[in-house]
Amino acid sequence: MSFLISFLLSFLFVRFFSRKFPLDMPNARKIHKMPIPLTGGIAIFVALLATETQVKIILPVSLAFLLGVLDDIEDLSYKIKLPFQVIIAAVAVWIGPEQIYFLGQRLDGILWKVVEVFWFAAMFNALNMIDGMDALASSTSMLSALFLREYRLALALAGFLPFNLPKAKSFLGNSGSAILGILLPFYALTYFKGDLCYATVFLGYPAYEVLSSFTRRILRHRNPFSADKNHTHHLLMRRFGVWRSLLLLVSFSFVCNLLGLSEKLWSFLLFCIVYLVLFTYSLS
């Protein structure tokens, strides 16, 4: 059902009402050349709202969606968005696993709950960061949701994906990336029974993107929250083009999913090695 709702709404929005929605306008930092409607998040939100059976999930998803819609309309600064992202992250922590772990070791105390809140906030931004190329965030998130057995989200993304493939007729928008930014970390942390390490490795591609972007900007004496055109997908597109870059990054995300699912120390160490190699490449 979520596939059908998402597909039909995406079709109607793109075919008949595209100019009624906020548009992602081209600029020097973006790769598209024409205005693209930001309709994907709305289609996915409605599909999830109509099919979700866990009432507790509706609250953080709705808050994230509303923040994303405001961002799509007003282009909010990070100074405005960040406090609200932290609040939404705190809600996710409140309804999520009671106990958290790292590599199977239990972490107790209020400090670790604060760490968990900031982990959610970081992953919230991570999903937004990888939404910079046609179908990248939607396809990698769909595969991750399938591995986590969250079929409603996976099918909602599958319904939107045909309209998001290169050359995209619709974008997720900040409303869509915000939904993914709160749902995927929540589902991953729940699946791994509160283990922050394995959940991070499983979501290794967006985790890499947010960590590497912040580190790179700090090393270059820039505001870590400032947008740029040096994300992994930008670097790969300049060398390989859109379709090859999409295939490479979906494959990378797929491998991270498998590493996380192994729930082994060696998978975490391998992820760290891959992170260092890719980060070194991005600085060259």
Q: Measured between alpha carbons, how far is 114 from 269 in angstroms, rounded to an integer?
A: 25
The 3-state DSSP class for residue 96 equals coil
Residue 20: count other Cβ atoms within 10 Å of its Cβ. Answer: 9
- The answer to whether 67 touches 81, Cβ cutoff 8 Å, is yes
Q: Give 284's Cβ-side CA count (13 Å radius).
A: 7
- From CA 244, how far away is CA 263, in angstroms rounded? 30
pTM of the model: 0.92
What's the mean pLDDT when you consider all of the chain? 89
Evaluate the CA torsion angle 117, 221, 256, 247 in order and state its sign.
positive
The three-state (H, E, C) secondary structure of 86-133, written as one string: HHHHHHHHHHCCCCEEECCEEECCHHHHHHHHHHHHHHHHHHHHCCCC
> Is the model's pLDDT at 241 over the cut of 90?
no
What would the pLDDT profile of 50-101 be if each residue is shown by its tens digit? Answer: 987 788 889 999 999 999 999 988 888 888 999 999 999 999 999 988 899 9
pLDDT at 3: 94
Looking at residues 36-42, what average pLDDT do you find? 85
Cβ atoms of 141 and 127 within 8 Å: the answer is yes
Mean predicted confidence (pLDDT) in 213-235 = 81
**Residue 16 clears pLDDT 80, i.e. is over it:** no
